[in-house]
A and B are shown apart, each in its own frame.
Chain A
Amino acid sequence: MTKEHANWSPYDNNGGTCVAIAGADYCVIAADTRMSTGYSILTRDYSKICKLADKSYMASSGFQADVKALQKVLSSRHLIYQHQHNKQMSCPAMAQLLSNTLYYKRFFPYYAFNVLGGLDSEGKGCVFTYDAVGSYERDAVTPLSEAEAVDLVKTCFASATERDIYTGDSVEIIILNAKGVRRETEQLRKD
Chain B
Amino acid sequence: MVSSQNESSLLSSEGDSQRTQYPYVTGTSVIGIKYKDGILMAADMGGSYGSTIRYKSVERLKQVGKHSLIGASGEISDFQEILRYLDELILHDNMWDDGNSLGPKEVHNYLTRVMYNRRNKFDPLWNSLILGGVKNGKKYLGSVSMIGVHFEDDHVATGFGNHLALPILREEWREDLTFEEGVKLLEKCMRNLLYRDRSAVNKLQIAKITEEGLTISQPYSLKTFWNFAAFQNPTVGAEGSW
Residue of B nearest to A8 (CB): B124
A168–chain B nearest beta-carbon distance, Å: 14
Interface residues in A113-129 by Cβ distance below 8 A to B read: none
Stretch binding the partner chain, chosen from A41-49, A83-91, A130-138, A143-151: A41-49
Contact B22 A7 (CB under 8 A): yes
Q: How many residues of A are counted as interface, with CB atoms below 8 angstroms from the partner's CB atoms?
A: 24
Tell me which residues across on chain B come within 8 A of A6, comparing CB atoms.
Answer: 19-20, 122
* CB of A17 closer than 8 Å to a CB of B: no
Tell me which residues across on chain A come within 8 A of B235, comparing CB atoms.
Answer: none
Contact A43 B20 (CB under 8 A): no
Given contacts A6-B20, A42-B162, contact A12 B147 (CB under 8 A): yes
Stretch binding the partner chain, chosen from B8-16, B58-66, B91-99: B8-16
Tell me which residues across on chain B come within 8 A of A68, comparing CB atoms.
Answer: 112, 148, 150
* CB of B222 closer than 8 Å to a CB of A: no
Residue of A nearest to B153 (CB): A43
Report the separation of the CA atoms of residues A171 and B69 in the bound assembly, to the nearest whole angstrom: 32
Interface residues in A61-109 by Cβ distance below 8 A to B read: 63-65, 68-69, 108
Tell me which residues across on chain B come within 8 A of A108, comparing CB atoms.
Answer: 120
Chain B interfacial positions (CB closer than 8 Å to A) = 8, 12, 15-16, 19-22, 112, 116, 119-120, 122, 124, 143, 145-153, 162-163, 166
Chain A interfacial positions (CB closer than 8 Å to B) = 1, 4-12, 14, 35, 37, 40, 42-43, 45-46, 63-65, 68-69, 108
